[in-house]
Amino acid sequence: MSGSEGSKVLEGQLALVTGASQGIGAATARALAAAGAHVIITGRNAKLLEEVEEQIHNAGGNATIAPLDLGEPDAIARLATAIANRWDALDIMILSAAYLPQLGPVTQIEPRFFNQAITTNVLATQALIAAFDPMLKRSRNARIVGLNSSLATAPRAYWGAYAASKAAFEALLECHAQEVARISEIRVAIVDPGATRTAMRARAYPGEDPQTVKAPEVVADRIVALVQEDFATCHRERVEAA
């Protein structure tokens, strides 16, 4: 059971979750909805998004699916326009979508996979922040939460492409946090979920027993608590096992 279940502390708030078709994104969408928020869930796989939406509705929550590829030209702009035509303000934006390219030495990084990592992890992040900035500024206490990796600040061999993209992701969020701190109520948090039972981790660590790492719901519950907290400038934290 989610720690937010039964408590509608986010009633009346609008949340957008990217990468919401599975893993931490899906768990966060369910937890935000359980806490009363209307959640817009995005991802490339429409069928998986529909399953998450159904889970939310069956639990008494509210969600709207918006299938899209973050790398498609103008997709983010179209999404922002559609949402702005229906709602006035965006209260919560969870940047959960990420692409993990093939692991390998820097000398053998495949350009097309590196490009996709940069597009999804960096360019789409900037586009989302820019497109939704007006709606976030209309919220009384908007929260942007970016899910990042420890590799952004402590890179390791063979993770160069992913680490580079996540370092850029973190830099964008840090800069934006400083830029809006004194001119709006927007607050930015960077959350390192740590070892979590996701499909992405299974691809990176195929020999690992998934039951030895925490469930996505642990991270989701922490995010729901975090967006209710008052923090200054750019907040950082790592989610440990419950």
pLDDT attached to residue 226: 97
Cα separation, 42 vs 29, in Å, equals: 10
99 is catalytic: no
Domain 14-238 superfamily per CATH: NAD(P)-binding Rossmann-like Domain (3.40.50.720)
Instruction: Say if residue 151's pLDDT is above 90.
Output: yes
Domain ranges of the chain: 14-238
Query: One of 99, 158, 162, 205 is an active-site residue; which one?
Result: 162
Residue 239 to residues 47, 147, 150, 152, 222, Cα–Cα distance (Å): 29, 11, 11, 16, 7
Q: 23-34 vs 216-226: helix axis angle to the nearest 10? A: 50
Determine if the pTM surpasses 0.75: yes
pLDDT at 232: 85
Average pLDDT over the chain, rounded to an integer: 95
The pLDDT tens digits for 162-201 are: 999 999 999 999 999 999 999 999 999 999 999 999 999 9
88, 138 contact by CB (below 8 A)? yes
